[in-house]
């Protein structure tokens, strides 16, 4: 799975299926773990910490910024765009530029949004007035499998498959044992149940 296919699935299958079943009478609480494809960055995403001085200057110029204030020794110095490329003290130091860009970029939240959050915001932008409840997007804390039910389910199923291992097991048998791990056999194991999660 990658970010593109995940967003495609959410946009073309999950949302339409949910709407078809509940007709916007219910809201979805979408709980995701911190997999990279759940947090794919858009083409316009900007990580200020990784930008070079030239990249920061180009970003500011692309947004029509003409001057930046920098605080040195308790005094504010205003640098015009033609002075940004100069090395300090005649121009802003890279770290001074970074501090400014970090505060400035808050005016442009789209540069910091992940695509899935943007999808949730834009999906219902036109119907928010008519819809009393909105869909929610929640990310679980990293490294906390106890709050990620799928991790508990997979741990159980993988444990069951491991217990049924034989050295001569075929792929077909493995697939059958994996499916059997989900359902109770009535005796040896209980299968997946709501009480587990």
| Predicted pLDDT of residue 117 | 62
Closest listed residue to residue 114, CA positions, set 59, 34, 56, 53: 34
Length of the chain as a residue count: 197
Rounded to 5 degrees, what angle do the CA atoms 127, 133, 139 make?
Answer: 105
Kindly report, residue by residue over 161-188, the tens digit of the pLDDT.
999 899 999 999 999 999 888 887 777 7
Count CB-CB contacts under 10 A for residue 191.
15
Distance CA(106)–CA(112), nearest Å, equals 8
Kindly report, residue by residue over 63-83, the tens digit of the pLDDT.
888 999 998 889 999 999 998
| Predicted pLDDT of residue 122 | 52
Give me 29's structure tokens. Answer: 């609480």
Give me 61's structure tokens. Answer: 């110029």
What CA–CA distances, in Å, run from 180 to 105, 159, 170?
52, 12, 15
Name the percent of the chain lying above pLDDT 90: 13
Q: What is the mean pLDDT of the chain?
A: 78
Q: What is the pTM of this model?
A: 0.45
Residue 129 has pLDDT above 50, yes or no: no
More confident residue, 12 or 130: 12
| Predicted pLDDT of residue 158 | 92
CB 33 within 8 A of CB 139: yes
């Amino acid at each position: 799975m990658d970010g593109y296919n995940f967003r495609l699935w959410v946009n073309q299958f999950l949302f339409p299926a949910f709407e078809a079943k509940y007709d916007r009478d219910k809201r979805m609480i979408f709980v995701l773990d911190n997999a990279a494809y759940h947090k794919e960055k858009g083409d316009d995403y900007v990580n200020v910490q990784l930008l070079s001085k030239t990249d920061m200057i180009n970003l500011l110029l692309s947004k029509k910024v003409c001057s930046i204030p920098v605080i040195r020794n308790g005094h504010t110095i205003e640098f015009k765009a033609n002075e940004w490329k100069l090395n300090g003290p005649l121009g802003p130091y890279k770290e001074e530029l970074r501090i400014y860009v970090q505060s400035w970029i808050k005016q442009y939240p789209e540069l910091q949004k992940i695509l899935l959050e943007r999808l949730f915001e834009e999906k219902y932008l036109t119907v928010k007035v008519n819809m009393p409840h909105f869909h929610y997007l929640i990310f679980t804390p990293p490294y906390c499998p106890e709050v990620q039910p799928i991790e508990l389910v997979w741990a159980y199923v993988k444990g069951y498959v491991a217990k049924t291992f034989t050295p001569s097991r075929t792929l077909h048998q493995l697939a059958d044992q994996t499916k059997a791990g989900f359902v109770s056999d009535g005796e040896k194991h209980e299968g997946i149940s709501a009480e587990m999660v």
